[in-house]
Structure 1
Amino acid sequence: MASLPEQSSPNPLLFPAYTPFSSTLNRFQKWRADLGLPNPGTVENLQKEVKATHLTNYAFDGGRADLTKSISMNPLFQVTHSFALGSQTMAPSYNFGAIYASEKVFLQGGVDHDGNVSARMNQGWTASHVSKMQAQISQQAGHNLLQLEHDYQGMDFNLNLKAANPWPTDLTGIYVGSYLQSVTKNLALGTEWVYQRPTPATSDLVATYLAKYTSSDKSWIATAQLQPAGILQATYWQKLSEKVEFAADLQLMAAPMRRDALATLGAKYDLRLATFRAQLDSTGKVSALLEQRFTPTFAFLMSGEIDHFKNAAKVGVGVMIESSALSQEELEMQMQQMQMQQQALSPPPPTS
């Protein structure tokens, strides 16, 4: 993660000498700056390394093909045709997508064969303020979405506010606020509050308490999320070498009406032209994903999963082909830029 630009000291003009609390506030700001605490990152990226190592978000079954045409490098502009068929859980589909990215703006849009439209936008105002918008128009009732979000990255903390399907007249919708603060150079603590108001007469408030510990050399990261209702999620990620990463995820539910647990172990191997992910969980599922890149413009994917308890299996095969007039160096720069943009994207919004 790129380091944030150094923030200047408080402007004395904002807190003149005759202000009663100016001296105390300026001393507090100077004391925080002298601690040198790092920015802990966003709450939505609390488990970013674990999710990148596990293949839960990458696995697929059936056939898949992604055909991409890169039109320009700076600003980045490309279009993609995506095909999927033969899946056991999803119907055959086609999706047309486009991406535009500049230094401060990221735009992504797509439309599928059923006429469902999705769009997202990231607008960076300053190095600390980023506004995000996500919208979805679906042919199915109840699947339409409008999510507004603003992220503020302070010197040693991160504040995020978002609203999903807000309605200003009766204040229905889903509202989420999160705060993550570095306590030491290795430990960050925070909280996230989700307020759901599906109707004016019903509402629900759920609080989650967060912790993140990063080693001094950033070779391993441990996180924990706790809800008072009895839900705990703990993760551990470690970079064993330049090419090998390991991640573990434990989810516990000890609610009065339900007791359940799920443990997941995964590893990722980054080779020169290939990436291999393997995963095992406590439900008896063993899965693997291979991404073999023969050239910068052609990659072959193979995904597989075996469920020992249900005696079932899934297999997926896919290709990614890119047509571009860019040079090889420009293609490599584009791939790095796309990876950075993908990390900045929000996860799926909360649902009621």
Structure 2
Amino acid sequence: MSTPHAASSEKPGVSALHDHAHPSSPFTDFFTNLVHPVAAPLASTFERFHNFKEYYGLVQPGTVEGLTRDVSTTLMSNVFFEGARADLSKVISPNPAFQITHSFQLGQKSNYSVNTIFANASTFLMGQWEPSTGGVNVRANQTWSPSDITKVQAQLSSSPGQTMCQFEHDHIGPHYSLNLKTINPSIADGNGLYFVSLLHSLSSRLALGFETIIQRSSPTEIIPATSYLLKYTSSPDAATKALSLLPPSTPGAAAPQAPFTPSWAATAQLQPSGNIQATYFHKLSDKVDVAVDLQTMFQPASFMGPAKRDALASFGAKYEFRAATFRAQVDSAGKVGMLLEQRFTPAFVFLVGGEIDHAKNSSRFGVGVMIESSTMTPEEMVAAGMIPPQ
């Protein structure tokens, strides 16, 4: 039969260790009593807010930069070119990826450039040089973690006002995306362009956000402008919902860092000028995508000209065949166009496109080739996934 004295003396070292690890003093007691009334309600509120978000199955909404990316890759106007074009690529290494590309373009604006790309699991480096103009473009992306990416972009040109440098950082949270960016910042006086954007999920289908641009041209002149963003998508799939509804203490219950892929998505942007851009993207099948883009153009009367109220709607579709990609587009201004990318072999792609403007009674056409060679053997290319096995 144990006595209270015996029970308290079974593990005397534990009590001594506890007292040593958490020493008590009048100062620590005073600090704890001072901070606890303020910190405890804040911690409790944050925990309730976190549990609220987990209960409603919020998902990662993607970034503000990628808000209309699906629409941009579907519409032809973002990849169409005029004249003749040839891209000759040389793959030096698949992993890490190292590639050199020579690009030739003939038309109203003839140009030649050489591009170099290096990429591995966490780093992306790209450089471009145009001998005719002497322009140099560089870009570097560094992934520090699944949640943080730093991007640097610079453009050097002999033309006045064309030199630019840009620093950017993306923080991807479980239910939000935060982006900080600056263009041509001045260390001496702080002049430059500064961007802050945030996109946060309010439900499993709705996300709201904003993008604020601050233009600082002098210490006394600061011009802010804010755009408001909306994204509404189809419901997440069953796997994403099950993962988001797990209790936070369950292993693997953390919300996925990558945004889920909806079958359709609608976005809207209210710009500071009052203009509105609305888009709609729908993946009809694994091989067919359609997209709609609506942009309003409101311009008040000024010394530049009379008031203007106009809108432009574009509708496009993209078809993915086994060895080809076909895009077609029509807009409310009377333009109709198409672009075909036909892959005859894994190393040879033929491009042909055209656009007819019925309102202006004009047309544009473009043809091109993309040729890719490699220093690797066919067996190495199959192992790297560059060509299908025979």
The interval holding the TM-score normalised by the smaller chain is 0.7 to 0.9
| Selected match of 1:73 from 94, 109, 116 | 94
| Selected match of 1:179 from 176, 183, 198 | 198
Cα distance in 2 between the residues matched to 1:211 and 1:200: 33
Paired residue secondary structure (1:125): strand
The count of residues paired between Structure 1 and Structure 2 equals: 317
Change beyond 3 A, Cα 1:24–1:199: closer
- 1:100 — aligned with what? 118
Change beyond 3 A, Cα 1:31–1:167: same
Change beyond 3 A, Cα 1:186–1:57: same
Cα distance in 2 between the residues matched to 1:106 and 1:140: 28
**Paired letter, 1:214:** T
Per the TM alignment, residue 32 of structure 1 is displaced from its structure 2 partner at its CA by: 2.8
Larger Rg: 2
- 1:44 — aligned with what? 65
| Selected match of 2:280 from 236, 254, 273 | 236
1:1-12 alignment, distance < 5 Å: none
Q: What's the CA shift string for 1:159-211, capped at 9, x where partnerless?
A: 00100001122221111110000000011000001112234454422111000
Change beyond 3 A, Cα 1:232–1:323: same
Q: Does residue 1:276 correspond to 2:326, yes or no?
A: yes
Per the TM alignment, residue 334 of structure 1 is displaced from its structure 2 partner at its CA by: 9.2
Q: Is the deviation greater in 289-298 or in 247-256?
A: 247-256
**Paired letter, 2:43:** S
Q: What's the CA shift string for 1:197-250, capped at 9, x where partnerless?
A: 234454422111000011015211100001253210000111112211110000
Q: Is the deviation greater in 316-325 or in 257-266?
A: 257-266
- 1:54 — aligned with what? 75
Per the TM alignment, residue 22 of structure 1 is displaced from its structure 2 partner at its CA by: 3.0
- 1:162 — aligned with what? 181
Cα distance in 2 between the residues matched to 1:134 and 1:249: 28
**Paired letter, 2:340:** L
Cα distance in 2 between the residues matched to 1:22 and 1:309: 62
Q: Does residue 1:302 correspond to 2:346, yes or no?
A: no
Percent of aligned pairs sharing the same letter: 50
Change beyond 3 A, Cα 1:319–1:144: same
Per the TM alignment, residue 27 of structure 1 is displaced from its structure 2 partner at its CA by: 3.7
- 2:5 — aligned with what? none
**Paired letter, 2:372:** E
Change beyond 3 A, Cα 1:202–1:333: farther
Cα distance in 2 between the residues matched to 1:38 and 1:334: 35
Per the TM alignment, residue 80 of structure 1 is displaced from its structure 2 partner at its CA by: 0.5
- 1:329 — aligned with what? 382
| Selected match of 1:253 from 287, 297, 322 | 297
| Selected match of 1:197 from 213, 216, 224 | 216
- 2:263 — aligned with what? 219
Higher strand share: 1
Paired residue secondary structure (1:60): coil
**Paired letter, 2:126:** Q
Change beyond 3 A, Cα 1:119–1:228: closer
**Paired letter, 1:227:** Q
Higher helix share: 2
- 2:142 — aligned with what? 123
| Selected match of 1:26 from 47, 50, 54 | 47
Cα distance in 2 between the residues matched to 1:48 and 1:326: 35
Cα distance in 1 between the residues matched to 2:337 and 2:163: 32
Cα distance in 2 between the residues matched to 1:118 and 1:133: 11
Cα distance in 1 between the residues matched to 2:159 and 2:75: 31
Per the TM alignment, residue 315 of structure 1 is displaced from its structure 2 partner at its CA by: 0.9
Paired residue secondary structure (2:53): helix
Unaligned 5+ segments in structure 1 are 1-15, 336-352
Cα distance in 2 between the residues matched to 1:334 and 1:236: 34
Could you tell me the TM-score, scaled by structure 2's length? 0.77
Check whether the contact 1:220–1:236 (CA below 8 A) recurs between aligned residues: yes
Question: Root-mean-square deviation (CA), in Å?
Answer: 2.0
| Selected match of 2:317 from 263, 267, 272 | 267
Check whether the contact 2:314–2:331 (CA below 8 A) recurs between aligned residues: yes
Cα distance in 1 between the residues matched to 2:69 and 2:387: 21
Cα distance in 2 between the residues matched to 1:334 and 1:36: 40
Q: Does residue 1:320 correspond to 2:382, yes or no?
A: no
